[in-house]
Amino acid sequence: MSAGLGASLPRQDGPAKVTGTARYAADHLAEGMLYGVLVGAPVPAGRLRAIDAHSARTVPGVTHVLTHAEMPKLAAPPVPPASSVRVPMQDDEIQYEGEPIAVVLAERLEAAEYAASVVQADVEAAPFTAHPRGHRAGAEVPRESGYLSGPADAEHGDVEHAFAGASVRHEATYVQPSRHHNPMEPSATLALWQDGVLTMVDATQWAYGVRIVMCALFGLASDQVRVRSPHTGGAFGCKGLVWPHQIIAAAAARITGRPARIVLSRAQMYSTVAYQPQMVQTVSLAASNDGRLAAIEHESINVTSASDDFVEYATLASQTTYAAPAIRVRQRVQRANVNLGTAMRAPVEGCGLWALGAAINELAAQLQIDPIDLRLANHADVHPFTGQPWSSKKLRECYEDGARAFGWRRRPNEPERDGPWLVGQGMADCAMGTFRFPSNAHVRLQADGRAVILSGTQDIGTGIATILTQIACGVLGLEPGLVSCEIGDTELPEAGPTFGSSSTMGVGAAVMAAAQDVLAKLDERSAQELGATPGAGALSAAMSSAGIEELVGVGSFSPEDSPYALHTFGAIFVEVGFDPELGIIRLRRAVGRYSVGRVINPRTALSQMLGGIAWGWGKATMEASRQDERLGRWLSKNLAGVALPVNADIPSDIDVAFIDEVDEHASPIGGKGLGELGATGVDAAVADAVFHAAGRRIRELPITPDKLV
Ligand code: MOS
């Protein structure tokens, strides 16, 4: 029996991970390696007058303290996927607290850490712009810098006319705070130069992306940079682009002539890499009395840094979700002296659906219409903005099946009481765009009928190596134990990034094509009839009769502009308990139903959705990174002061299922992306459940007890 599409194959790398034999970037050593520790700017804005590294240099074991004066002038400007147009440690300017101003290199980590703590920066502090707190002041149009992925404004239909003629309107502002990623493995990189070739072992979501940036900055050809990422210990977006520590490690290794490794501390994960910036979103809805939307207007303002204009395109949710004839969206940024934001699970619609979903639920209450009926009345049969047909969409089935499983239609008007708890229920839409990136893979068949998959993708913990294995097994008819998978290296065929819930579609399709290719090649060269899914015995017999030791199949996935709109959909239902005396809210149960095309591995898919719902609960009720407005620094820079869902916060009663569907427009494997979908919509559903239980509309996340008592 082989494991093909749809099999619940367990994690192939599970044993290596739980026994500690899996090696992450920070587990790698190199001969003569120096330990690098970054020194961060003590103020959020100003100029470095001088850096006194005298005492740091006298610490035994310290070999170098590098500042902007010693750093090579890099072949700027950087190119995406560098996170920022600002190259680190190139001048004496300080733009945010924690910005790297020096790197200490030592023979031992302890020496480097101690020495970094005694580096003295003589700083001329300047007035700074603090991280704004939930207001719209200072919003500006994002500057075009080559890093924007779309226009800031978009409009479709006659919005003014629709608002003027509407019998019902709803307008409100919804806030979500800045939040940090905090994967279990902090960002880490080991850089080493040999004969003009830069090799990096890096905790990244995109090994090939790191190579692009290093080539640009150091003026190298692509065969002069190799990036390895054998295991990446969790990532929610903060390892997607290239951040200062990677550039500094490569530069330090070049200057010192020795390999250099930089592992960020948990505190540095707050200010040296990115976070999801605060968003202030205003949604205006115009509707008829029977709930048909006439117009949606949506503005989102997100925090950005002094150097860059990162735009989180939250308003895309309003272009894709409901069939409003008139839609107008605006993206704005608020500049502050903070480190730069980036995408975080779940970006784009994941952010916008908080505001839009909450607004729709409030409109439903105003109209006294069931939130599902309001959504059905505005179901988008085609893409509302472009008019394109969907590649697949089973959202109606999600509503119907989810409502039945949850008992939604029996929702009482008044909250029920259960001991000290008032019980509230809420629902919302889930949605994500379907991101597709070109990817390549090889499948190498051996004389004994075993196969090896080769692709330069990376596994951030979601199980892609397992999924690739089962896809190859399905084509070749092999047991999973006969197929191994080599990933995480730019010496392997080029693969896209591991973000945007894209890998199973893209790399999976490339592996399927490579497995089919090797089978076709063998069929051509051997006299034996192979047929479909031949299995190890037939494969090795064919190989030996044709006298072939090894045969390589080549496959690729090259997404082209589709005539279809590609999206995933879902519906999330939650039940919360609210204690009116203490203001505490608890998640009691949840039901999620999703339309994601074919589910390749139900086990890893379930795990993604459960994780996404837990993540959504954290966003809705716990997470926020606050800045001290006087010091311009993050208040909490460790996990001790950060509220995140733990096991005790998440009930076992979470019912997740996928609607039966195959979408071959999205990918030859029939699947769409699902990794981030489960994290969308939970916030809006929770806010509505809290309203049901507590009678209060909370429009600023997280919904904490202080907002409810
Ligand atoms: Mo995720 S924000 O696509 O790493």
**Which atom in ligand 1 lies closest to the alpha carbon of residue 347?**
2
Q: Which residue has the tokens 């719209």?
A: 136
φ/ψ region of 27 (left if φ > 0, alpha if ψ in -120 to 50, else beta) reads: alpha
d(CA 664, CA 436): 13
CA–centroid distance, 678 to ligand 1, in Å, is 13
Q: State phi, psi for 159 to the nearest 5 degrees.
A: -65, -45
Distance CA 490, CA 26 (A): 18
List Cβ neighbours of 103 (8 Å cut-off, separation of 6 or more).
36, 37, 38, 39, 64, 65, 66, 89, 248, 252, 262
Residues 6+ away with beta carbon under 8 Å from 132 = 138, 278, 303, 334, 336
Question: Is 343 touching ligand 1 by the criterion CB < 6 Å?
Answer: yes
pLDDT score, position 49: 97
Radius of gyration (Cα) for the chain, nearest Å?
26
pLDDT score at 1: 47
What ligand 1 atom has the least distance to the C-alpha of 236?
A: 4
Residue with tokens 């149009």: 141
Using an 8 Å Cβ cutoff, are 454 and 468 in contact?
no
Any ligand 1 atom below 6 A from CB of 345: yes
Q: Tell me the CA end-to-end span of the chain in Å, nearest whole number.
A: 58
Taking residues 125-142, what's their average pLDDT? 96
> What is the DSSP-derived secondary structure letter of residue 564?
S
Cβ-based neighbours of 481, under 8 Å, separated by 6 or more:
none
* Closest C-alpha among 435, 671, 439, 436 to residue 555: 439
Regarding the beta carbon of 347 and ligand 1, being less than 6 Å apart is answered: yes
In this structure, are strands 275-276 and 197-202 parallel, antiparallel, or unpaired? unpaired
**pLDDT for residue 533:** 92
Residue 690 alpha carbon to ligand 1 centre in Å: 28
Q: What is the distance between the alpha carbons of residues 496 and 498, in angstroms, rounded to a whole number?
A: 7
pLDDT at site 308: 95
Residue 439: DSSP 8-state: E
CA of 348 to the centre of ligand 1 (A): 10
**Residue 272: closest CA among 633, 29, 615:** 633
Confidence at 414, pLDDT banded by 50, 70, 90:
very high
103 - beta bridge partners? 38, 66
Query: Which residue's entry shows tokens 């199949």?
Result: 553
Cα 672 to ligand 1 centre (Å): 15
Q: Characterize 188-221 residue by residue with b for buried, 16 or more Cβ atoms within 10 angstroms of its Cβ, and e for exposed.
A: bbbbbbeeeebbbbbbbbbbbbbbbbbbbbbebe
Ligand 1 atom with the smallest distance to the CA of 343 is 2
- Which ligand 1 atom lies nearest to the CA of residue 501? 3
Q: Whose CA is nearest to atom 4 of ligand 1?
A: 237
Helix orientation angle between 207-218 and 244-256, rounded to the nearest 10 degrees: 50
How far apart are the CA of 498 and the centre of ligand 1, in A?
Answer: 8
With the most atoms of ligand 1 within 8 angstroms of its CB, the residue from 206, 608, 676, 677 to mutate is 676
Contact 499 CB / ligand 1 (< 6 Å): yes
> pLDDT class for 146, splitting at 50, 70, 90?
confident
Q: Is 171 a catalytic residue?
A: no
Q: Check residue 328 and give its pLDDT.
A: 98
Task: Tell whether ligand 1 has an atom less than 6 A from the beta carbon of residue 236.
Answer: yes
Pick from 344, 437, 458, 674 the residue to mutate for probing ligand 1's pocket: most ligand atoms within 8 Å of its CB: 344
The beta-strand segments (E) located in 581-693 are: 585-595, 627-628, 633-634, 654-658
Cα–Cα dist 604/597, whole Å: 15
pLDDT exceeds 70 at position 354:
yes
CA atoms within 13 A on the CB side of 613: 33
In ligand 1, which atom is closest to the CA atom of 344?
Answer: 2
Q: If you measure from the C-alpha of residue 363 to the centroid of ligand 1, how many angstroms do you get, rounded to a whole number?
A: 31
569: left (phi over 0), alpha (psi -120 to 50) or beta: beta
Q: Decide: 281 and 298 in contact? Cβ < 8 Å.
A: yes
Tell me the two tokens of residue 611: 């994780």
Q: Binning pLDDT at 50, 70 and 90, where does residue 2 land?
A: low
- State the pLDDT confidence band at 642, using cuts at 50, 70 and 90: confident
Residue given tokens 């204009």 in the structure block? 309
Given 414, 664, 676, 700, the catalytic residue: 676
Give residue 136's pLDDT.
94
Greatest extent of the chain over all pairs of C-alpha atoms, in Å: 79
Statement: residue 636 has pLDDT above 90: no
The CB density around residue 388, as the number of other CB atoms within 10 Å, is 14
Residue 639: other Cβ atoms inside 10 A? 12
Structure tokens at 514: 């490579």
Q: Tell me how far apart the alpha carbons of residues 19 and 215 are, in angstroms, rounded to a whole number.
A: 36
Q: What percent of the chain has pLDDT over 90?
A: 95
Q: What is the mean pLDDT of residues 226-236?
A: 96
Residue 124: per-residue pLDDT: 98
Tokens standing for residue 417: 């009481």
616 ligand 1 Cβ < 6 A: no
The overall average pLDDT reported for the chain is 96
pLDDT digits (tens, 9 = 90+) for 329-341: 999 999 999 999 9
- Does ligand 1 come within 6 angstroms of the Cβ of 500? yes
Burial 236-259 (b: 16+ CB within 10 A, else e): bbbbbbbbbbbbbbbbbbbbbebb
Q: 189 pLDDT exceeds 90?
A: yes
Q: Where do we find the tokens 């205006």?
A: 284
State the distance from the centre of ligand 1 to the C-alpha of 423, rounded, in angstroms.
33
Q: Tell which atom from ligand 1 comes closest to the C-alpha of 237.
A: 4
Separation of alpha carbons 697 and 169, rounded Å: 17
pLDDT digits (tens, 9 = 90+) for 488-498: 999 999 999 99
**CA pair distance 189, 436, nearest whole angstrom:** 27
Across residues 533-558, what is the average pLDDT? 96
* Residue 382: pLDDT over 70: yes
Q: What distance in angstroms lies between residue 110's CA and the mean position of ligand 1's atoms?
A: 33
Q: Which residues of 128-160 are buried (b: 16+ CB within 10 A; e: fewer)?
A: beebbeeeeeebeebeeeebeeeebebebbebe
Helices (H), 316-421: 316-320, 349-367, 371-377, 395-406
Q: What does the pLDDT look like over 667-686, one tens digit per residue?
A: 999 999 999 999 999 999 99
> Which is nearest to 649 in space by CA: 585, 566, 556?
585
For 429-448, write each residue's pLDDT tens digit. Answer: 999 999 999 999 999 999 99
**pLDDT (mean) for 567-577:** 98
By most ligand atoms within 8 Å of CB, the mutation choice from 242, 311, 345 for ligand 1 is 345
Cα of 396 vs centre of ligand 1, distance in Å, is 27
Residue 162: burial class (beta carbons within 10 Å; 0-12, 13-18, 19+): buried
Under DSSP, is residue 366 helix (H, G, I), strand (E, B) or coil? helix
Stated pTM of the model: 0.97
Question: Is 240 a pocket residue for ligand 1 (Cβ < 6 Å)?
Answer: yes
Q: From residue 687, give the alpha-carbon distance in Å to each of 350, 442, 459.
A: 15, 47, 34
